[in-house]
């Protein structure tokens, strides 16, 4: 049995495109904070411009297309989820709150029991 590492061969510019996309996002964020004296619209425009350039660069790379395919598949999967009705959600929430209340009382009781055992019975310190 042979253990040879597998190397994938891709387009040579893919890594450069991804690095440039990350730099575009960073430039948009830096521009947003650098333009703090400007109006919110100008600042948001700088941020959105950086994001648009980053998406355009990522779209042209293999990794970017794979990520976008993954994102589309994730959205498709979330559409298959059967969400609970309002009544079911309220019932589940009530059950969780009741369980938390019971556990809080239980842990408080155990804490008090251990306190009495340790301080009063074992150590003899009356509080």
pLDDT mean for each 10 residues of the chain (127 residues): 59 80 91 87 91 87 84 93 94 98 98 91 75
Q: How far is CA 121 from CA 111, 114, 116, 118, 126, in A?
A: 15, 10, 7, 6, 9
Q: In angstroms, rounded to a whole number, what is the distance separating the alpha carbons of residues 58 and 56?
A: 6
Task: Give the per-residue pLDDT at 1.
Answer: 53
Task: Give the per-residue pLDDT at 4.
Answer: 64
Task: Give the per-residue pLDDT at 127.
Answer: 57
Task: Give the per-residue pLDDT at 109.
Answer: 97
pTM for this entry: 0.48
């Amino acid at each position: 049995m042979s253990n040879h590492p597998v190397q994938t061969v891709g387009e040579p510019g893919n890594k450069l495109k991804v690095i440039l996309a990350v730099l575009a996002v960073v430039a948009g964020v830096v521009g947003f904070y650098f333009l703090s004296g400007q109006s919110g619209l100008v600042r948001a425009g700088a941020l959105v411009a950086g994001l648009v350039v980053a998406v355009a660069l990522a779209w042209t790379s293999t990794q970017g297309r794979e990520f976008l395919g993954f994102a589309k598949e994730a959205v498709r999967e979330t559409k298959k989820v059967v969400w609970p009705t309002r009544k079911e959600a309220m019932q589940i929430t009530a059950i969780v709150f009741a369980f938390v209340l019971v556990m809080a009382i239980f842990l408080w009781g155990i804490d008090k029991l251990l306190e009495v055992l340790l301080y009063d019975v074992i150590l003899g310190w009356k509080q």
